[in-house]
Amino acid sequence: MVWVKNKTKSAPESEQAVVAIGEDLQKKAAQSEDQLKTTGLNHWIRLRDDWIFWKDDTNQNMTKLISDQHFYKIKKDLLAKGKLFEDTSFPLEQAMGNLGNFKNQRITWRRPHEICSDGMKPQFLVGDSTRLNVKGLQRGRYWLVAAMISLALNPVQLKKIAPEDQSFDYGEYAGIFRIRLWQYGQWQNVIFDDRVPTLLNSDEITYAHSQKKEVFWSVLLEKAYAKLHWSYDALNGGNESEAMEDFTGGLTIIHDPKAHRKLFKIADTSFKRSCLMTCNIKSAQDGSGDQTKFNLYRHHAYSITNFSRIASNTIPVVRIRNPGGTTRSGMELIVTIHQNGKI
C-alpha cells in the first residue's frame, strides 16, 4: 500500500503530483467522513483541504472488497481438501505489532478448539450473546469493548456484521470467518482465519473475550478489526464512537449532559430505537485523580445498557456496563442523572 499527499483542492490525475508521507495517515483516513473517489484500484480520500492517495497493492495487507460468493468458494475448497484456512496476509508478527502490554511474554496463535477444554465446543454466535458476555483485559482497549457490548444489545445489527451462517460444526468449519465492517463509505468483508493470540504457556486470550469461554464472536470481531487497522497494538487508545460507526455504518452524535435538559428523554428514545450508546467522564478541573468517589473512572468508556425511572417515575436512572468489570456487581452500575447534568 502507498500513502501519498497532494496540496491541491481537487483530486490530481496521476500519482506523480504527490509526496509520500507514511503510513500514519492510514488511521486519519479511516476517521475521515469526507469524500472518497475511486478509479480502478486507486483511491483518493479527502481530509479537509488535502487529498490522500491510496494505491491498492495485493502484496500488502489490506482489506479487499471480497464478495460473499468468493468467501463461500474459498471455504468450499478448504472443506473439500480437509484443510484449515491460514491467513498469510495477517501473520502473528504483524498482528501483535510491538506487543503492547505483552512485551515480556511469549504469544502464540491458537484456534478456538485448542482453547476450549473439558469437552466444551467452541461457538460463534449463541442466543444469549448479551452485554455480560463481553469483557476486556486492557484499559487502553475498553473503548472497543464498550462498543462491542453496545452492539451485543442489538442482535439484528450484530448478525449483520457477524453473519450467523458461520460455525465450528463438523462439515461447516474450515477455519475461515468473515466480518463486515463499514469503511470508506461502504461495507467490506474482512476475511481472516480463527487463530487468536494467546499466552504461550496457557490458553488465556490476550485481549477481548467472552465471559463464556466457548463463545468467540467478540474475539473474532476484534481480530477482524485489528486486521483492518494492521495490528492489535494499533487498537490501543481509540474512540468508541469510531468503532460504533464501523459496526453500523451510521454517524455518532456526542451530547454533553449539561447542554441538554431533555437529554434523558432523547437518549431513552434513541436506545429504544436500537441505537448503540456509550458514555465517559471528563477530566476533573480540580486536578483530582482518575477515580471518582463512586468508583467510576475518567477517560474510561462505559456502555449504556438501559434507561429507567424510579421513585414513582420521578428519578431518571441509567444502567452502565464497565468493560473491565470482573464480577457482576463490578460490571454494571445504576447511576442517576440530576437536572444539572451531574451523575
Strand partners, 47: 50
Specify whether 265 is located in the same domain as 308.
Answer: yes
Q: Please tell me the distance from the alpha carbon of residue 37 to that of residue 43, in angstroms, as a whole number.
A: 6
Specify whether 209 is located in the same domain as 79.
Answer: yes
Q: Please tell me the distance from the alpha carbon of residue 47 to that of residue 86, in angstroms, as a whole number.
A: 35
Q: What is the number of alpha carbons within 13 Å of residue 309 lying toward its C-beta?
A: 7
Which of 196, 231, 248 delimits the end of a domain? 248
In this prediction, residue 35 carries a pLDDT of 38
Q: Please tell me the distance from the alpha carbon of residue 134 to that of residue 210, in angstroms, as a whole number.
A: 5
Which of 188, 219, 248 delimits the end of a domain? 248
In this prediction, residue 77 carries a pLDDT of 95
In this prediction, residue 140 carries a pLDDT of 63
Mean pLDDT of 230-252: 89
**What nine digits make up the cell of 240?**
468508541
Q: Please tell me the distance from the alpha carbon of residue 64 to that of residue 194, in angstroms, as a whole number.
A: 18
Residue 24 has pLDDT above 50, yes or no: no
Which of 248, 268, 292 delimits the end of a domain? 248
Residue with cell 428523554: 265
User: DSSP string spanning 52-90?
Assistant: EEEE--TTS-------HHHHHHHHHHHHHHT-----TTS
Specify whether 131 is located in the same domain as 107.
Answer: yes
Q: Which of 20, 30, 100, 68 is nearest to 166 (CA)?
A: 68
What are the catalytic residues?
Answer: 300, 322
> Can you point out the beta strands (E) in the chain?
2-6, 19-20, 36-39, 42-47, 50-55, 107-110, 134-135, 176-183, 186-193, 196-199, 209-210, 278-279, 302-310, 315-321, 332-336
**What nine digits make up the cell of 86?**
491460514
Question: Range of 38's domain?
Answer: 2-55
Which string of b and e fits 210-227 if b means at least 16 CB within 10 Å? Answer: beebbbbbbbbbbbbbbb
Specify whether 143 is located in the same domain as 40.
Answer: no
CATH code, domain carrying 310: 3.90.70.10
pLDDT tens figures, 125-172:
876 555 556 765 555 678 898 999 999 889 899 999 999 889 999 999
Q: Please tell me the distance from the alpha carbon of residue 308 to that of residue 331, in angstroms, as a whole number.
A: 18
Q: What's this model's pTM, rounded to 2 decimal places?
A: 0.73
Q: Please tell me the distance from the alpha carbon of residue 189 to that of residue 182, in angstroms, as a whole number.
A: 9
Specify whether 191 is located in the same domain as 304.
Answer: no
pLDDT tens figures, 87-110:
988 888 888 776 555 554 677 889
pLDDT confidence bin for 234, thresholds 50/70/90: confident
pLDDT tens figures, 270-303:
888 889 999 887 766 655 567 777 778 787 888 8
Specify whether 83 is located in the same domain as 140.
Answer: yes
In this prediction, residue 296 carries a pLDDT of 80
Specify whether 243 is located in the same domain as 119.
Answer: yes
Q: What angle do CA 237, 51, 228 make, to 5 degrees?
A: 35
Specify whether 50 is located in the same domain as 75.
Answer: no
